[in-house]
């Protein structure tokens, strides 16, 4: 009986932790975004685009990672932020990208 009780407690705790959205603190997200922008700017030999991309709330980790990957994969000249960076401002996780969207092409579109 104790084993069943223990397994139930562990299963419920794992279920609850997996269901929660993984958020990144604002200062850590801003630092990660700045590092990616600096990498792309240095690679292209251009300054970081202004205005700087400001993070106002705690973004969902997945959206921040998509933005960071898009910045590091963007082509030269680095004159704006890729379109997936707009996902940072969403309060709810949009889920997976639809099958008809090509992330490789979408990540090359820049917001100026």
pLDDT digits (tens), the chain, 112 positions: 666 654 666 665 555 555 456 999 999 999 999 999 999 999 999 999 888 888 888 999 988 998 999 899 888 888 888 888 888 888 877 666 555 555 566 655 565 5
Domain residue ranges in the chain: 23-111
Measured CA to CA, the distance from residue 80 to residue 66 in angstroms comes to 16
pLDDT reported for residue 94: 65
pLDDT reported for residue 104: 60
Segments of 25-112 assigned E as strands: 81-82, 110-111
pLDDT reported for residue 98: 58
pLDDT reported for residue 19: 47
pLDDT reported for residue 3: 67
Closest C-alpha to 61, from 41, 104, 83, 90: 90
pLDDT reported for residue 33: 93
Closest C-alpha to 26, from 48, 57, 3, 61: 57
């Amino acid at each position: 009986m104790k084993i069943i009780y223990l397994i139930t407690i562990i299963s419920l705790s794992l279920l609850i932790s997996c269901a929660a959205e993984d958020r990144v603190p604002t200062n850590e997200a801003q630092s990660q975004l700045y590092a990616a922008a600096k990498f792309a700017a240095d690679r292209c030999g251009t300054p970081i685009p202004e205005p700087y991309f400001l993070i106002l709330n705690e973004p969902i980790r997945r959206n921040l990672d998509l933005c960071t990957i898009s910045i590091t994969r963007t082509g030269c000249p680095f004159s704006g932020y890729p379109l997936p960076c707009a996902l940072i401002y969403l309060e709810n996780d949009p889920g997976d990208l639809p099958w008809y969207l090509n992330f490789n092409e979408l990540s090359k579109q820049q917001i100026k």
